[in-house]
Structure formats: structure tokens, C-alpha cells
């Protein structure tokens, strides 16, 4: 290695895990389909609103970034 060899490898973003991919897909679908939250309501869960899904995705990303599943 010499002074003229200053190339660095480009860092690629980490690949999305399946759960994050599913949550993001649900968030995108919830924006387009008004009845998408019907199964969640039937199970007694909160509705799939854009804001709620965004909060859930961010919380999951924070947990996984800390090394927890």
C-alpha cells in the first residue's frame, strides 16, 4: 500500500430484513387501499394508518439496530 492508493470500498446499505420489508409493504398498501386495516380491526388490533405503521417501522428499526430481534 502506498500514498497513491487511497481508494475506499463503497459501503452498501444493509439489506432489509423480512419483517421490515413486510411492515414497509403494509404501510405502502395502507396508503392505497382504504379497507386494508379490516383484518387488524377484526383481530382487535390498531388500524393500519400511515402514521401508526411509520411509528411501528421506526420502532422496529431502532430495536434491530440495537441487536435485538
Q: What is the pLDDT of residue 1?
A: 54
Taking only the tens place, the pLDDT of each residue in 22-62 is 777 777 776 677 676 677 677 777 766 778 878 888 888 88
Q: What is the pLDDT of residue 29?
A: 73
Task: Tell me how long the chain is.
Answer: 69
Half-sphere exposure of 56 (CA within 13 A, CB side): 18
Q: What is the pLDDT of residue 2?
A: 59
Amino acid at each position: 500500500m502506498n500514498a497513491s492508493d487511497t481508494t475506499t470500498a463503497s459501503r452498501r446499505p444493509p439489506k432489509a430484513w423480512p419483517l421490515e420489508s413486510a411492515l414497509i409493504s403494509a404501510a405502502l398498501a395502507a396508503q392505497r387501499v382504504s379497507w386494508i386495516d379490516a383484518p387488524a380491526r377484526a383481530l382487535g388490533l390498531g388500524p393500519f394508518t400511515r402514521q401508526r405503521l411509520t411509528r411501528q417501522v421506526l420502532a422496529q428499526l431502532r430495536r434491530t439496530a440495537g441487536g435485538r430481534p
